[in-house]
Chains A and B, each alone.
Chain A
Amino acid sequence: MGFLWTGTWILVLVLQSSPVQAFPKPGGSQDKPLHNSELSAERPLNEQIAEAEADKIKKTYPPENNPGESNYSFVDNLNLLKAITEKENIEKERQSIRSSPYDNKLNVEDVDSTKNRRLTDDYDSTKSGLNHKLQDDPDGLHQLDGTPLTAEDIVQKIATRIYEENDRGVFDKIVSKLLNLGLITESQAHTLEDEVAEVLQKLISKEANTYEEEPNKPTSVTESRAGKIPEKVTPMAAIQDGLTNGQNDETVSNTLTLTNGLERRTKIYNEDNFEELQYFPNFYALLKSIDSEKEAKEKETLITIMKTLIDFVKMMVKYGTISPEEGVSYLENLDETIALQTKSKLEKNVTDNKSKLFPAPSEKSHEETDSTKEEAAKMEKEYGTLKDSTKDDNPRGKTDAPKGKTEAYLEAIRKNIEWLKKHNKKGNKEDYDLSKMRDFINQQADVYVEKGILDKEEADAIKRIYSSL
């Protein structure tokens, strides 16, 4: 637990200083110089070892700034973290940071151990047993070539702790506390989760391979994936060493039994490119509840829908159509909506919770398996939801008027575009010219604002929607 806290704190401090951006623009972070060049002190041995370890893990996450990649946000978040830590590089020495956990300043190079200590310091005394292990945590946060390992190592650390603790709930608690305190943003929390899960997966698979002779291990790993009961893990120290030294043997104990969340995560992780889907605990619950064998297609469809939605949101953020906060809110709302729908469906139908868990979206999902257009429609509708919640001039909660308005506008625009496309295909009257329409809309929106028919805000939103098409 202590490690979890520590690790989280580390990440918190790293993230806290970022200009709030869940989805950094592509290429933005590439400009930042490698922070390593500013290292001035020799790093402790264990740090360097940890770094080497992290390096290995890092290979699976080549830094890319290709916006089309599905792990775009993940990688860019890493880059972001790197950039951030770089920024703060100059400011503190490793030892000095221990003072205030909420301290915004960071010394990049020393960030790990100081963060560790800080976390430990503030860590809940009820979990004291594991605290002190972290103090010596030699997480290496740099690599010589300056690639963004800082975050990864932290992530690794956290993953390890989860692994050991077998309780993702603790992580959740920490993260929500941090969120409430405003120390990290939702997206950063999600990113963290995501990365942690991936590392965790690696740990698990590594352990599985390493310990094949141990009867419990591989089976327990697979069984745990199938969703079994968690078991307590071995001492932190061992794990820690194992991580840093590649000697995970003792530590990977028999149970890689994880909680539901982790199991879900690892299970899904085994499928392709689903790391982003880990943003959505409720969605996960839903997916998990779908029996893979019987309804693989439906599951796949759901996953595809979610991924497309996520990509859509990312793209919107990337192009500045929505702000990152809006993107985050949207995704949160989405997951919440899923939770609500799921809950209400479950209440309705206790026995059969498979195909009915996705009531509203599933109507769409039937359509959407057929056409990306309708998927886009759903996305746009959800986007409308997103827009509303971030422009909340009505403190009445998510299902209320402001959300409805932008949703309605988005829906109307979608219908318009659809009709224009269809109409032109049939009639061959005019070429359907999106840029012309966009210009016209921009112009009309301005006129309407002048005449008091539209608010400036609304007009801007409408223009943004059109410019993102």
Chain B
Amino acid sequence: PGAPAAGMRRRRRLQQEDGISFEYHRYPELREALVSVWLQCTAISRIYTVGRSFEGRELLVIELSDNPGVHEPGEPEFKYIGNMHGNEAVGRELLIFLAQYLCNEYQKGNETIVKLIHNTRIHIMPSLNPDGFEKAASQPGELKDWFVGRSNAQGIDLNRNFPDLDRIVYVNEKEGGPNNHLLKNLKKIVDQNTKLAPETKAVIHWIMDIPFVLSANLHGGDLVANYPYDETRSGSAHEYSSCPDDAIFQSLARAYSAFNPPMSDPNRPPCRKNDDDSSFIDGTTNGAAWYSVPGGMQDFNYLSSNCFEITVELSCEKFPPEETLKSYWEDNKNSLISYLEQIHRGVKGFVRDLQGNPIANASISVEGIDHDVTSAKDGDYWRLLVPGNYKLTASAPGYLAITKKVAVPYSPAIGVDFELESFSERKEEEKEELMEWWKMMSETLNF
């Protein structure tokens, strides 16, 4: 299990299924595996890098979509990120397997997968901390432990390294203030912040560049799907701290855990004898209820962008033996697909002006939920919601807001477009109306 590099390579072709080799991939093998997927599925995939780790390894992403490299207006963007703690290895491997699996299934004509790939832009980053992984993987067998390789090469725990927006939102909740996109002057802040690891910076830029809608962040060390908020409101060690979208997040987390038998097994004993898993329900947990995490990537997504992210803990053991990888795949593959499909829920559409031009950065608010999303460059927006009746309001500076009522089923997403009238247009209209009235008056009264 997790033997030195040579050992891993020697066992390379031990377990294989349809191009998926169930073994640990070091950095070269990771790259190779992604290249193989790209070569096999050139029409629907693309590899890119969001930047480099501290030691210079590319933070590789493989994108799967029917038009790779392009954001198609109206097509939601999804991401999976694994191995942000380098010694939490299962997520990294699952994502490599997933990429290959999606490619294979697409070519086999698997309807679910074909539909997903045609209607979603799926980004898969198997490892956000390749440096940490190398360190962890180099540990001989039994010595793989809870800490070595967890942080990046600088010793920074990436999941504590993001700007802490939870604190800001808690203040805003009390005193008023924005409920979304809390990181103002983002670029400047990020680039000038010396405390941010290169991996963290890269991800932040990535989040800002692509209008992600849904995401999951894969970890290890336990078996649960964790959702926002991660940090307790009061500052205590454990406290259920719900975010405005608690309902949909519970649904999203369940959509993952329900398909993972051990994760959703109510009778499963905790990973370690003295673990407190009292907050776990149906394989899900509110982050802060489990334990408080400040500066995490999950909440950063929710509070700085439109992206809803959950954290999935995939394995009691952080770096389990290679022989177990196949069974982890079996336990998770349906969950990974199910979670992907969640992106096609709620409401989606376009915000345009009266001439049909897209209005970017319009706000879409939902009555009763204190969290707004914004429209992307093409005016497109996506608002994940659990089934129910809602009032959606689209607004943008210089435009008159419009509210629409929507009945939302479980899925698929309901399309709702907004055509906003700008103030000046309204002024013109009013002016015209006034002129009309004046004309009528003058005719009647013989001015």
Contacts and interface: CB of A to CB of B under 8 A. Distances in A.
Contacts of A415: 19, 40, 107
B35 A409 contact: yes
A400 B9 contact: yes
Contact of B42 (A400, A411, A416): A416
Contact of A404 (B13, B43, B46): B13
Given A408-B32, A452-B58, A453-B47, A401 B9 contact: yes
Given A400-B9, A416-B41, A416-B42, A411 B19 contact: yes
A377 interface: no
Contacts of A400: 9-10, 12
A289 to B, nearest CB: 27
B58 A408 contact: no
Contacts of A441: 42
Contact of A453 (B19, B28, B31): B31
Interface string A402-418: 00110011011101100
Nearest to B41: A416
A56 interface: no
A50 B49 CA distance: 69
B64 interface: no
B146 interface: no
Interface string B241-285: 000000000000000000000000000000000000000000000
A412 B35 CA distance: 9
Interface in A409-467: 409, 411-413, 415-416, 419-420, 437, 440-441, 444, 448, 451-454, 458, 462
A397 to B, nearest CB: 10
A366 interface: no
Contact of B58 (A396, A401, A413, A451): A451
Contacts of B48: 451, 453
A420 B40 CA distance: 10
A313 to B, nearest CB: 21
A437 B31 contact: no
Interface in B21-55: 28-29, 31-32, 34-43, 46-49, 52
A462 B13 contact: no
B107 A412 contact: no
A437 B42 contact: yes
Nearest to A413: B39
Interface string B49-73: 1001000001010000000000000
Nearest to A404: B12
A400 B49 CA distance: 28
Nearest to B57: A452
For chain B, the bracket of interface size reads 20 to 34
A415 B44 CA distance: 13
A453 B49 contact: yes
Contacts of A444: 42, 46
Contacts of B60: 453
Contacts of A404: 12-13
A401 B12 contact: yes
A413 to B, nearest CB: 5
B300 to A, nearest CB: 26
Contacts, number: 70
Interface centre among B6, B19, B32 (most CB of A within 10 A): B32
A362 to B, nearest CB: 19
A391 to B, nearest CB: 13
A416 B39 contact: yes
Nearest to A454: B35
Contacts of B107: 415, 419
B9 A396 contact: yes
Nearest to B32: A405
Contacts of B13: 399, 404
A420 to B, nearest CB: 7
Contacts of B43: 416, 420
Contact of A458 (B35, B41, B47, B58): B35
A413 B40 contact: yes
A18 B28 CA distance: 38
Contacts of A396: 6, 9-10
Nearest to A397: B10
Nearest to A448: B47
Interface string A379-399: 000000000000000101001
A419 B41 CA distance: 9
B35 A453 contact: yes
Contacts of A451: 48-49, 58
A462 B58 contact: no
A412 B49 contact: no
Nearest to B40: A412
Contact of A412 (B9, B29, B37, B58): B37
A419 B109 CA distance: 10
A409 B47 contact: no
Given A404-B13, A451-B48, A452-B58, A412 B39 contact: yes
Contacts of B6: 396
Nearest to B100: A412
A227 B403 CA distance: 93
Contacts of A408: 19, 32, 36
Contacts of B37: 412
B220 to A, nearest CB: 26
A409 B19 CA distance: 11
Contacts of B10: 396, 400
Given A451-B58, A453-B47, 13 more contacts: A400-B12, A401-B9, A404-B13, A409-B32, A415-B19, A415-B40, A415-B107, A416-B40, A441-B42, A451-B49, A453-B31, A453-B49, A462-B39
The 7 A-B residue pairs with the shortest CB-CB distance, nearest first, are A412-B40, A412-B39, A412-B36, A419-B107, A415-B40, A401-B9, A408-B36
